[in-house]
Structure 1
Amino acid sequence: MGGECVQARTETGDAAVAVYGASGHTGAFVVAELRRRGIPTIAVGRRPAGLAGGIAARVAAIDDPAALDAALADCAVVINCAGPFLDTASPLIDAALRVACSYIDVTAEQASAQRTFADYDAAAHRAGITVIPAAGFYGGLADLLASALAGDDATDAVDTAVALDRWWPTPGTRRTGERNCVPRVVVENGSLAPIPTVPAIVDWAFGSTDGTQAVVEMPFSEIITIARHLGARRVHSYLNASALDEVSSSGTAAPTAVDALGRSAQRFVMDVVVSDRNGARRGRARGQDIYAVSAPIVVEAAARLRKPGTHRRGALSLAQAFDACEFLHALSSAVTVDFDHA
């Protein structure tokens, strides 16, 4: 968990946060959360049509470095909500490095998060910025839970399981699924390894509310964020089979808003079990709408990065950059978290 404390060159108390992909489904939630918290916001997108109304907006195509630099030049942080992140993360991070603007994204794509950690840690140190990939529901929330559960002893294993009562995929989720053909990986014997051709199916007890459900091995970016710093010899992730069937079906509809916040009716539960020589400990997070809940997570991170003073620099997971328990407490209005012995 190394990293120096430095003051970012562009960080000021009233500096804006840019949202790339502000007109997208998740981007709209992020813009709304920034506005709710009174944080100056700049919507950035590839086309002027569809950018959030009522706030500053700038147009910058992902393949236009000069436009990206101009869009981020006076911002403290940029939050990237535009997938596929295999295509958007590197150009935006490159621009953030050039203008000394910290970077956060919400990717669930393992390959994108892995590439960000591998390619940008040293450069972020030199630029005095923080780069945090996969800070949304999958990579970020799971990393916070696992880190809060980890003790002083070496971690033997981390297992995560997610149950969604429904999964209505956004168009962005479908585009990412078509683009992301990189084999999925888990951690075995302390190293990343591909999952079996036929993924494991097991029964997982989610508690009295959600019961025991069949889950399929389906790792997302949490494998990469957890492996980044916890040093577990084994990390595996599962998703309930019914949700996987829905997101895999071309006939499943997109999410529909059911409340004033624009959230769908989807409910989620995320279980994380951390094991070491002292036994197993479980953390469980519950909430509504996996797309919407990414907004308070990344906005909380951005709010911390834009404050004057010191922050850790480099390419970091969310739980490397911030204290996991304290960060989870800050999310209590959006996510209900419980800890117990597994």
Structure 2
Amino acid sequence: MTTTKDTVTIAIYGATGVTGGHLLTELNRRGITPILVGRNADRLHTAAAAAGIPDAEIRLADLDDHQALVAAFTGADAVISSLPAYVSFGEAVVAAAIDAGAHYTDMSGEQLFIKRVFDEYAARAEAAGVTAVPGITNSNIPGDLLGHLTAQRLTGPVEISISLHGTSEGHGSKGSARTVLASLDWFRSGGWHYQEGELRTGTTTRHAEMTFPGDTEPTAVSKFPQPPVLTLPRHTNVSYVEGVLETAFHSQLSSFTAEIVESLPEEPTPGLTYDLVVDSYAADGNTVRGVVSGRDAYVDSALMAVEVAARLTNGSAAPGVLAPAEAFDPTDFLNSLSQFGITWRITR
């Protein structure tokens, strides 16, 4: 059971997007009452009907109208924010959710936004008695939870490297591309890594190659702004945390433009399978690897976000802004994903 409440209501901002549809479908499957919040009533009704809930409640609010957003979220047990480019648009939703007394989560993969939520909204959420767990995607939450579990098997402090490896061919959504474009320089630079008690920038990685599960040869990787760099030091004994991604992806960013983004299809390729890989290194030379394997990056991110929101509604997590491993038992949460065909393992 993910909640002890008889009736749970979860509001979604961004329900008309690709991932928003997956969120609605999962809420409907669980029997959770959704509230669809947005600017366009016709599009919201269409999204609700497509998810099999044509009678879902619709509430209208613009991102630039704080009071309307607060009113739209009032009465919801939790809010899920599903937006492109959170660094540009996401702050309005988290602020309104907290002021409405609702727990909050989002599907951001942006270091800059997630750090802002921790820095600027922790005290506000704690005072309101609500919990916010930002950055729930198929890479972020497994990276945080697996990083915690793998580090426990070593004598710390440990060094951690995290990468998301696509195991099938295809393309992401236009929304994802817009997210990258909104912080293009940050993505190109590799973002933050954690070293000697602080966040630092720079393009150099300590692990320039990674042998992914099932491969016999290593793949060149480059620094990438993975959000667990921010969250793992909150609850795990680490000396260094970095995010990496295949160097081939960074090569694509060199020519990334707004024109290219707008030429992309709205929908991602279905069934984008992946491995989220966490390698932990101890000073004594021992290493531990954790892997989460999933069947569809976009669907799985939505499933994880609904799981987080549903768990938050039982009120067991402390108020404030928390990392995933601060809010939930890592093993229990990862085990709960098996119902969706998402598997995990830890090896030495």
TM-score range, shorter chain: 0.7 to 0.9
> What are structure 2's unaligned runs of at least 5 residues?
49-53
Q: 1:100 to 1:264 in 2, by over 3 A?
A: same
Q: 1:199 to 1:282 in 2, by over 3 A?
A: closer
What is the Cα deviation at residue 255 of structure 1?
6.9
Q: How does 1:86-97 map to 2 (within 5 A)?
A: 86-97=87-98
Aligned to 2:227: 221
Aligned to 1:203: 209
What TM-score do the two structures reach when normalised by structure 1? 0.86
Q: 1:226 to 1:255 in 2, by over 3 A?
A: farther
Distance, in Å, in 1 between the alignment partners of 2:273 and 2:97 is 35
Is the 8 Å Cα contact of residues 8 and 77 (structure 2) preserved in structure 1? yes
Higher helix share: 2
Distance, in Å, in 2 between the alignment partners of 1:107 and 1:298 is 10
Aligned to 1:305: 312
Q: How does 1:1-342 map to 2 (within 5 A)?
A: 13-51=6-44, 52-53=47-48, 54=54, 55-151=56-152, 153-164=155-166, 165-166=168-169, 168-180=171-183, 181-182=185-186, 184-196=191-203, 202-208=208-214, 212-245=218-251, 250=260, 253-254=264-265, 264-276=270-282, 279-307=286-314, 310-334=316-340, 335-341=342-348
Is the 8 Å Cα contact of residues 278 and 291 (structure 2) preserved in structure 1? yes
Aligned to 1:6: none
Q: Deviations over 1:214-265 (max 9, x none)?
A: 22221222211223332411111111234455676638844757xxxxx713
Distance, in Å, in 2 between the alignment partners of 1:292 and 1:72 is 24
Q: 1:310 to 1:234 in 2, by over 3 A?
A: closer
Distance, in Å, in 2 between the alignment partners of 1:330 and 1:226 is 21
Equivalent position SS for 1:177: helix
What is the Cα deviation at residue 304 of structure 1?
1.1
Is the 8 Å Cα contact of residues 63 and 91 (structure 1) preserved in structure 2? yes
Distance, in Å, in 1 between the alignment partners of 2:317 and 2:243 is 30
Aligned to 1:3: none
Q: 1:255 to 1:230 in 2, by over 3 A?
A: farther
Is the 8 Å Cα contact of residues 155 and 275 (structure 1) preserved in structure 2? no
Q: Give RMSD over aligned pairs.
A: 2.5
Q: 1:202 to 1:276 in 2, by over 3 A?
A: closer
Distance, in Å, in 1 between the alignment partners of 2:139 and 2:225 is 9
Count of aligned pairs: 324
What is the Cα deviation at residue 190 of structure 1?
2.3
For residue 112 of structure 2, what is the amino acid of its counterpart? A
What TM-score do the two structures reach when normalised by structure 2? 0.85
Equivalent position SS for 1:82: coil
Distance, in Å, in 2 between the alignment partners of 1:299 and 1:12 is 15
Distance, in Å, in 2 between the alignment partners of 1:81 and 1:211 is 37
